[in-house]
Amino acid sequence: MINAISPFQPQSIQASQPLNSQSIQNTQQTNFSQLLKQSIEEVNSMQIKSDEMTSALAAGKNVELQDVMIAAEKASVTLLTTIEIRNKAVEAYQEMMRMQI
């Protein structure tokens, strides 16, 4: 026999506090700034890794050429993507500044 489906009832209902715009704005700014910082650090680490692998290959260490090329291309694509995102952000900012209120 099939039991009837009972409606969902939360075990504990917590009273929620109203959020003010200042707390939301602080959270968003922190999250965006952390995301931006993390992304820039990732681009930098890829560039450093590529440089280290290139130097190791030039010094005659046991590094595969294809690994060096892959690391260099990853670093290049990541840097170009970052530059393009920056260009689009600047373009959007300039467009907003041209808007008349």
Q: Where are the domains of the chain?
A: 27-98
29-38, 69-78, 89-98: which has the minimum mean pLDDT?
Answer: 29-38
Is the pLDDT at 65 greater than 80, yes or no? yes
Residue 91's pLDDT band (cuts 50, 70, 90) = very high
Spatial distance between the Cα atoms of 92 and 87, rounded to a whole number of angstroms: 9
Percentage of the chain beyond pLDDT 90 is 62
- With CA atoms as reference, report the closest residue to 54 among 39, 73, 79: 73
Kindly report the three-state secondary structure assignment for every residue of the chain: CCCCCCCCCCCCCCCCCCCCHHHHHHHHHHHHHHHHHHHHHHHHHHHHHHHHHHHHHHCCCCCCHHHHHHHHHHHHHHHHHHHHHHHHHHHHHHHHHHCCC
pTM, whole model, 2 decimals? 0.64
